[in-house]
RNA sequence: GGCGGCUUCGCCAAGUGGUAAGGCAACUGAUUGCAAAUCAGUCAUCGGCGGUUCGACUCCGCCAGCCGCCUCCA
């Protein structure tokens, strides 16, 4: 019996048991990105956190409807388009493609649907129209604003009170507004800006309304989980709730999940500060699984600080898993089975069962992937201990069964976290075509043969030279009793 | 100024009212021609001060430091 899933709900600030509105199904909406530039590690953090949550829910048997939006029209996109003298959709579509290629490499599973704001203008106009009709929103000079005093629960997510917002507003008051905290549902087009026709003139949607419109379009007026970065909690998510609930009269998202922000050099990774690490650049020197492992190494809700060498350390950790599978493959294929075994089956099956139990215990407890990983490292250790013995004396038929079972547990649980180690689909850094790979393989085997001859002739300086030279081009040799193996490492990483 | 959060071994980072997972690094030993990998072992009393409690790192209060949001932001 697996533990019930509990999660920390930002809305109630409490730990709650996850009880989907429709048994067996989870409807989940996660704020994607405004596509005006490349993705950075912070975007990856959010995407990977919610991907991990989604994968775990699916692993637990839920059918997950997973919606991630693209904000494909906004000031920054328009600014870029104007700078590049292209249509704004050219810009947004380019960065959407870019987003997919980065996220695919990080093994972020594709959402059920990726709605774009520009393709849901009618839905938004209907919502805005309704709010205006009921005087919850009001038009001003071609814009439309939401009157925050007309929604009693305004501030319930972020713990703010309307009065305080009015008093402490940092922005200069726009005198056209009923109060400074009111936010735009619709923005009238200024000179030459693209726009859509509306009852209030040509314009484009405000930022928040798209999520309200698209979430209800695809998941219903009330759905289970809404996720996003903690920095979106206010005002974005607060405003989503206000619009949606004022419009529909029913609760919007039932559970709100927020991932902690990634800090780099002491402050939030953000384009405006300029301390961003682009995913594309990181992928040049790091295994995508290492990046994923790093991002899952702390609880999703905690802010995470990126330090120099963080990804290198994650890469070393990942190798621990990689080595287990390499070693097992060698062990199981090299030696013919014998009657008597060096491994007692129960030792490994117990270790595997313990790791799996701990995995579920941690993951059920607000998706504690970091804790779950700890258990997987322990299982890796148990496997190594057993394999060390098995290299001296055949594990025997029962031992082989136990070994295989523990390996398959390890690889499938890593898979639930989206880590491809041991699944046969891991992406070695510098992956190349199949033809290249087999050519490299043949060449390296030749070099290993040459080195073996040198070693047998006790010409160790020559043997070392071969090893060093291969290391310089990213081929690392490992001598084992059963022979020499090699692995490709990424070219030396700088950050 | 308002709201929220954080402070655990050299670094990253889980966690619990009953004396602290894991990874990286380091140290000792085994193994190795030497390495690498691996194994065995070593390596923290949880920011400070009070309080509640039989007992707190975990609960409460105060203090200090750091961070996020309040403007676009994963």
Q: pLDDT tens digits, residue range A287-328?
A: 999 999 999 999 999 988 888 889 999 999 999 999 999 889
- The answer to whether the complex's ipTM is over 0.90 is yes
Residue A421, sorted as left (phi over 0), alpha (psi -120 to 50) or beta, turns out to be beta
User: In the 440-459 stretch of chain A, whose C-beta falls under 7 Å of nucleic acid strand B?
Assistant: 455
The stretch A160-181 carries a mean pLDDT of: 73
Mean pLDDT: which of A12-16, A59-63, A186-190 is highest? A59-63
**Is pLDDT at A94 greater than 80 in this prediction?**
yes
User: In the 347-376 stretch of chain A, whose C-beta falls under 7 Å of nucleic acid strand B?
Assistant: 362, 365-366, 368, 370-371, 373-375
Query: Which chain B positions come under 7 Å from a protein C-beta?
Result: 1-6, 11-16, 21-25, 32-40, 66-74
**Is pLDDT at A423 greater than 80 in this prediction?**
no
Cβ of residue A225 lies below 7 Å from strand B: no
**Domain boundaries defined on chain A:** 20-285, 293-416, 434-488
Among A127-136, A243-252, A288-297, A468-477, the range scoring the smallest mean pLDDT is: A468-477
Q: What is the percent of chain A where pLDDT is above 90?
A: 68
* Domain spanning A20-285, CATH class: alpha beta
User: In the 387-406 stretch of chain A, whose C-beta falls under 7 Å of nucleic acid strand B?
Assistant: 387-388
A52, A417 Cβ separation under 8 angstroms: yes
Q: Residue A429 has what pLDDT?
A: 44
Cβ of residue A471 lies below 7 Å from strand B: no
Q: Residue A424 has what pLDDT?
A: 66
For residue range A377-413, list pLDDT tens digits in order.
999 999 999 998 888 887 788 888 899 999 999 999 9
CA–C1' gap, A233 and B70, in angstroms: 11
Among A32-41, A157-166, A193-202, A362-371, the range scoring the smallest mean pLDDT is: A157-166
For residue range A441-478, list pLDDT tens digits in order.
888 888 998 898 899 888 999 999 999 888 888 888 88
Distance in Å from the first CA to the final CA of chain A: 44
Nearest nucleotide to the CA of A227, by C1', is: B74
Q: What is the percent of chain A where pLDDT is above 70?
A: 92
For residue range A322-369, list pLDDT tens digits in order.
999 988 988 887 655 565 566 666 789 999 999 999 999 999 999 999
């Amino acid at each position: 019996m697996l533990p019930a899933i509990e999660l920390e709900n930002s809305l109630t600030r409490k730990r709650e048991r996850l009880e989907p509105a429709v048994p067996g199904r989870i409807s989940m909406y996660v704020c994607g990105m405004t596509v005006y530039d490349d993705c950075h590690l912070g975007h990856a953090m959010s995407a990977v956190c919610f991907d991990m949550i989604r994968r775990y829910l699916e692993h637990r048997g839920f059918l997950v409807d997973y919606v991630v939006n693209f904000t494909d029209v906004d000031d920054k996109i328009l600014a870029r388009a104007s700078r590049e003298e292209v249509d704004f959709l050219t810009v947004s579509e380019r960065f959407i493609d870019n987003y997919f290629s980065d996220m695919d490499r990080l093994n972020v599973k594709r959402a059920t649907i990726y709605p774009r704001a520009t393709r849901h203008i009618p839905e938004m106009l209907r919502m805005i129209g309704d709010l205006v009709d009921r005087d919850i929103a009001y038009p001003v000079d071609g814009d439309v604003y939401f009157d925050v005093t007309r929604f009693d629960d305004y501030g319930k997510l972020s713990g703010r009170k309307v009065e305080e917002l009015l008093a402490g507003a940092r922005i200069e008051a726009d005198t056209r507004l009923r109060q400074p905290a009111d936010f735009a549902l619709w923005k009238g087009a200024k000179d030459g800006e693209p726009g859509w026709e509306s009852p209030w003139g040509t314009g484009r949607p405000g930022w928040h309304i798209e999520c309200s419109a698209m979430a209800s379009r695809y998941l219903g007026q009330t759905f289970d989980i809404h996720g996003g970065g903690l920095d979106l909690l206010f005002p974005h998510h607060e405003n989503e709730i206000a619009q949606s609930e004022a419009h529909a009269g029913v609760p919007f998202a039932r559970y709100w999940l927020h991932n902690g922000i990634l800090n780099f050099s002491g402050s939030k990774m953000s384009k405006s500060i300029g301390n961003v690490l682009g995913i594309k650049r990181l992928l040049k020197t790091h295994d995508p699984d290492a990046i994923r492992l790093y991002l899952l190494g702390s609880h999703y809700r905690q802010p995470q600080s990126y330090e120099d060498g963080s990804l290198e350390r994650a890469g070393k950790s990942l190798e621990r898993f990689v080595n287990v599978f390499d070693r097992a493959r060698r062990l199981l294929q090299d030696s013919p089975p014998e009657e008597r075994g060096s491994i007692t089956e129960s030792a490994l099956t117990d270790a595997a069962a313990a790791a799996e139990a701990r995995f579920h215990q941690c993951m059920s407890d607000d998706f504690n992937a970091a804790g779950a990983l700890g258990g997987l490292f322990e299982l890796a250790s148990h496997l190594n201990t057993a394999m060390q013995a098995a290299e001296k004396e055949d594990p025997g038929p029962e031992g082989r069964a136990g070994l295989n079972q523990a390996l398959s547990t390890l690889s499938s649980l890593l898979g639930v976290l989206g880590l491809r180690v041991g699944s046969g689909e891991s992406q070695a850094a510098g992956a190349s075509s199949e033809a290249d790979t087999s050519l490299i393989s043949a060449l390296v085997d030749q070099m290993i043969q040459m080195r073996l001859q040198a070693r047998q002739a006790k010409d160790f300086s020559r043997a070392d030279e071969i090893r060093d030279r291969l290391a310089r081009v990213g081929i690392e040799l490992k001598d084992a009793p059963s022979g020499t193996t090699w692995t490709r490492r990424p070219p030396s990483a700088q950050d």
